Every structure is written in structure tokens, then in C-alpha cells.
Amino acid sequence: MSISSSFPLLQRLQFIQSSGKVLSCRAMAMSTSEGDVYVGTTERGLTQELQFPVPWGHIAGKAWGDPLGRPVLGLHGYLDNANTFDTLAPLLPKDLYFVSLDLPGHGRSSPIPPGTGYKNESYLIDVHRVVQALGWKKFSLIGHSMGGSVAIMYSAVFPSSVERLTLLDMSGPVDRPLEGTVERLQDAVKRRFEVEKTSELPPHVYSRTEALHKLLKGNPWVTREAGAVLLERGSREVEGGFVYTRDLNLKNLSFFSLTPEQAEELVKGVKCPVLMLRATQSVRNALEEERGKRFLPLFKANSSQFTEIQVEGNHHVHLNSSEVVAPHISTFFSQDTPTQPPQSKL
């Protein structure tokens, strides 16, 4: 459905209620000759599809719960989509209204115009477009990986709007050292032209089994069942099979990225309570450990409340084993929100 600014929010959100109580967080997947097929939450009456108009098309999303509930926005990781929260959302407190987005170029959202590039700073603006369309004045954020980086940026730039911030296997904004800038720019320019040339070709059509196999090969952290969950929203059926919906231009390297100093300034700007769930088998674990040593003291010194918990699993533990993650988030949402952050010393 499309979100229009001409009607009140409750009239715009025709929410489809579930016909029964959610008893399990397991993905509704079945094995067929074509591989695993995931029955999406919308088809099961558990969520409602949303579309938010933007100048180049629309941003897609899906919503769980009562629109009058406590608002929460979910942001997925790189090359994933809104389905990344499909197993987690049913296990969270029932008084939440949880909207999960497909960031531009992912899932069912429109790609950005040809010749332009994707950047976390642009996603910050895209998220704000959605927040304004929803009319939210105060809400919480749950972000995984790249989505966590965007959520940190939003929390710093709009501190009065964010009530709580949950980070799933992301210890701070994505940054790169000053050294190597020239080499990265060289690679980015080369990659841009390579991807644009590939984008001119017809999309490759896969069988369902082939599409799932390719997804799992590119993302070794998801189980086969979890891969089917992501594929349901990350592909569409065409004559002869399935094509991926994500924009090939997402593979372009960013021309520039945050410096470590800029990333640290953003972390200092986060004033709300923060829950950081770090996986024991985190992707690029050595790098995450180094980033954690820089960012964790800043979160502790500047946020009104900071909790770090290590959970057993890998980078996609929130999707693979949501029952491990959900109790910590539920506890976080049941706590009183501190109104004043501590006096920063960093």
C-alpha cells in the first residue's frame, strides 16, 4: 500500500491482523523440488506492506503490531532486506509497532537513479523521509550491521527523536583510515564503470534452488532456512524462474567514507539508552574487536545507559537464532528510559 500525506496515519494504515497467535519464531519454510520456499509474513496475515513515496520512486517496508503501539524502526544489513527481522519481530513485546524497511536498492524498494551511488549518509536522509511520513516524534531503532551504522548516525543527528537504540553485531559507524584514500578512490572509479556495464545486461534468471544457493554462497552466515527468508523478499518471479531484486549498483565501492575521527564524533552524539548485542562469531571479528575498543568507551561515556551483551551465534544470529536475541531486546524495552545522559568525559 502507499503512504499518502493527505490522510491521518490510522486511516492510511490498513493493518492486516493475524488470525491466530504466533507460537513460534521458526521460519515458515517447506522443502520442494525447487528448494526451500518461505511463506512470507504478509501472506500469512502477520504484517502489512507499506510504501513511502520518494523523488525517485518508493521505499518499501512491512509492519507488525498495532499502529498505536510504541514505534520501532528496523534497519537491515548490507544486501539483506526487511525480512531480516521476520523471525525476531514475533518474539518482541506485543505493545510495539515495528516497521522494518527495505533500504533503497534492497528488497522491494526502488533503486536510486542510474549513475548515482549508495552511501550511509544517503540512507540517513532516506530514514528521515520515512519517519516524517509516519509522523513519528519519538521512536526506537533496531539496526543490524550496516543498518546499525545508519541507526547510530540517525541517533546522533536527531537525538531528541530516538528513545532507544539496539545494535545487532555492529559496534560503531563504518569508517576507514585516512591512509589508502587514493587507492580506494582508484578502485571505486574502476568498479563503478564495471558495474554500470554489467547493469546494462538483462538480469540473470535462476531456478529457485539456484537463487538460494547463490544467496547462501554470498552470505555464509545464514542458515538455509534463513536464506529462504531473505530470498522471499530479495527476489521476484519472472518467466522461466527468479531474478534478484537488489540493485547491482550496491556493489559499487563508496568514493569516500567516514574517517575514524568522524565516526567517533557520531558515537559521542548518541544520548539515548543503547543495547549492543555482539555475536561470538562476528564477521571480521578482529576488526570488530578493534572498533569495539574505540567505540564502547564513547557509548558508555555519552549515552544515558549502555549495555553490551555477547550472544552465541554468528553475524546473522538475530535471524538464524532469534530466540537467543529476543529476550535481551525485550528486557531492554521493559526498562525505564533514563532522561539525562551522564556528563561526557570523552
Residue position matching grid coordinates 517447506: 30
d(C-alpha 146, C-alpha 121), whole Å:
11
DSSP state of 250: G
Residues 236 and 251 sit within 8 Å (Cβ to Cβ): no
Instruction: Please name every residue paired with 70 in a beta bridge, in sequence order, or none if there are none.
Output: 96
d(C-alpha 195, C-alpha 259), whole Å:
26
Of the pLDDT bands very low, low, confident and very high (cuts 50, 70, 90), residue 2 is: very low
Residues 325 and 88 sit within 8 Å (Cβ to Cβ): yes
More confident residue, 211 or 22: 211
**Total Cβ atoms within 10 A of residue 336:** 7
Residues 91 and 326 sit within 8 Å (Cβ to Cβ): yes
Q: In b/e form, how buried is each residue of 14-24, taking b as 16+ CB within 10 angstroms?
A: eeeeeeeeeee
pLDDT score, position 185: 87
Is the pLDDT confidence value at 224 over 60? Answer: yes
Answer whether 0.85 is exceeded by the pTM: yes
Residues 208 and 242 sit within 8 Å (Cβ to Cβ): yes
Instruction: Please name every residue paired with 53 in a beta bridge, in sequence order, or none if there are none.
Output: 58
Catalytically active residues are: 145
Residue position matching grid coordinates 531528541: 160
Residues 303 and 272 sit within 8 Å (Cβ to Cβ): yes
d(C-alpha 106, C-alpha 282), whole Å:
23
pLDDT by residue (tens digit) across 33-76?
556 889 999 999 999 999 999 999 999 999 999 999 999 999 99
d(C-alpha 184, C-alpha 36), whole Å:
39
Q: Hey, which of 14-18, 26-30, 170-174, 303-307 has the most confident mean pLDDT?
A: 303-307
The cell for 191 is: 568498479
d(C-alpha 343, C-alpha 124), whole Å:
27
d(C-alpha 321, C-alpha 327), whole Å:
12
Of the pLDDT bands very low, low, confident and very high (cuts 50, 70, 90), residue 27 is: low
Domains of the chain are 46-180+258-334 (3.40.50.1820)
Residues 69 and 75 sit within 8 Å (Cβ to Cβ): no
Is the pLDDT confidence value at 130 over 90? Answer: yes
pLDDT by residue (tens digit) across 249-292?
888 767 778 889 999 999 999 999 999 999 998 876 667 778 88
- Beta-sheet pairing, 35-38 with 57-64: unpaired
Residue position matching grid coordinates 534478484: 244
Is the pLDDT confidence value at 133 over 70? Answer: yes
d(C-alpha 218, C-alpha 114), whole Å:
24
